[in-house]
Structure 1
Amino acid sequence: MQFVLTARRWRAALDEKLAAVGLSDASWAPLMHLAISGDGISQKELAARMGLDGSSLVRLIDLLETRGLVARRTDEADRRARHIDLTAAGHAAVAFIRERLDAAEAEMLADLSDAEIAQLMDAFARINARLEAGRPDAAP
């Protein structure tokens, strides 16, 4: 339970710091997922990675597309599928968000030594790998 509470507090602190510079979870989270996943991810895959249903993601992508941060394109093989790419403005927004996230994380980790942070990041990487491998749509 401690992990769940810490994760919630961590996320709330990040949201608060990003809100102070005009970024809501609805705008920064999809952009960061796109940056991490790489351009061309399908809307379906992005929704799965974010834990959203398709219709909720469509509304977020509509907003980001209106702001010129992302562009949609139709899949050549499956005309029903759409892929999402960051625009130049989207890449600039990601750089801005990363700076803010890095500063917020540094502040929250200030009481830990470099060795403790390295151990923590290693543990998170292993946890993420296990969770990713357990996804129903994960590659064997």
Structure 2
Amino acid sequence: MQISEYRRPAAVSDPHAEAIKTLVDVMRIDFGERFTRAFADAEQLKQLKRRLYAQLKPFDVCDITKGYEDLVRIKPGFIPTIPEITDAVRQAAKLRATKPFVALPKPPRTIKPDFATMRKAIGANTGKSSEA
């Protein structure tokens, strides 16, 4: 499951805290029983969220999402560790920072209308001449 597909129905006061909650929920979905065994205690899960928050707070939320998804794609069989997640997010941030912006194409050149010619054409169509 992609993190971007998962939506938590709540008001977001701290986007990083929300991103960490979503990340942990997606890890639970991605790794199922292994995740549940690894973080069986509620205190362990709380510590995981706190440590992830502390490590990933400096990064943009989109980098957190991209980094985790890239990490799971590269290493799908194992629950990633906090240093692995942090490194993947750091790589995603670095990639985004070095990625060149795509410029929009130059707008087409506008041609200034020749009002005198337009008046003559309008006058010719109505039977009136504007040169009276």
TM-score (ref. length: structure 2) = 0.29
- The structure with the largest strand share of the pair is 1
- TM-score, normalised to structure 1's length? 0.28
Could you say which structure has the larger radius of gyration? 2
